[in-house]
Amino acid sequence: MRPVRALGAAFAIVMLAAGCGGGDDSSGSGGGGVTVRAANGQVTIQGTPKRIVSLSPTHTETLFAIGAGAQVVAVDDYSTYPANAPRKKLSGFKPNAEAITAYKPDLVVLSDDMDGIVKALEKIKIPVLLEPAAKSLDEAYDEIGDLGKATGHAEQAAKVTADMRAQIQRTVASAAKGKGLSYYHELDNQLHTVTSKTFIGQVYGLFGLRNVADPADKASGGYPKLSREYLLKQDPDLIFLADTRCCGQNTASVAKRPGWSSLGALKKRGVVELDDDIASRWGPRLPQYVATIGGAVRSASAGR
């Protein structure tokens, strides 16, 4: 597994996640409680949680964006945003029930059920919301709604998702359609990438871009590793680097790779350096990612 800083980064968590929790059928459970349908079933939360532990960087961002930040007492070591999130020595990859319970949580939020942590926490009567990596934009919005309902911030969550939708729609509408333009999204410097059927690929699909990795995806579930020869032959118009933090990649470094200096994206300034974290999370900062893609599409279209 590549040494990513995010997401859990999409390449780490999305590969592990199966299905998305939620739906719109959260309901009051009486006694000031609320029931939310997550990936681990119907979860009833009595009262408003005041000691939340998040083991997912995306959900940490969401909790703070919807106004529940003051209720968060601990987050995992990959939750790098916002800066004031209470990062602790907790892991979403190797969760430890004892370490989590030390913070006396009345709600734990995570995106993957590693090592049976969900049942371990449920066994000791701690409410757990399992909200896996989103497979679509609608699922991303749905999960934000779930967290809003679970934390007493339903209205704020609805506003966040409405703003996200509006920003993304404006970006896509203002960008020249990328039909005919091809792209490659790099997850690491070993040429792991994504295809159009992944969440990340669907984001690029909003602009009508063609993913050069699609024909190469045989049995990798949307995350193939390309060969150097294959990529050079495909000669994508745009190259998006989502390994700038984890792997120190940038325009200058990829230009030094054998054969890469001949790629059209290098010649026409079509290499885009992404923020690994923003590009690998499906939360409130998604519009920033979309805006970066939109800017690249406009520039590439103008240069055709």
In tens, the pLDDT along 120-174 reads 999 999 999 999 999 999 999 999 999 999 999 999 999 999 999 999 999 999 9
Instruction: Judge contact between 192 and 241, C-beta under 8 A.
Output: no
Residue 5 within any structural domain of the chain: no
**Which of residues 167, 196, 222 is at a domain's end?**
167
Across all residues in the chain, what is the average pLDDT? Answer: 90
What percent of the chain stands above pLDDT 90? 84
Q: Are residues 151 and 262 in the same domain?
A: no
Residues 192 and 163 in one domain: no
Is the same domain home to 70 and 141?
yes
Which H or E element spans position 166?
Answer: helix 154-174
Whether residue 50 contacts residue 246, with contact meaning beta carbons closer than 8 Å, is answered with no
Residues 106 and 196 in one domain: no
> What pLDDT was estimated at residue 179?
77
Q: Do 103 and 145 share a domain, yes or no?
A: yes
Compute the C-alpha angle 114/188/14, nearest 5°.
Answer: 30
Helical segments of 66-116, H only = 97-101
134/132 Cα distance (integer angstroms):
6
User: Does some domain include residue 76?
Assistant: yes
- Domain total of the chain: 2
CB proximity list for 227: less than 8 A, separation 6 or greater = 191
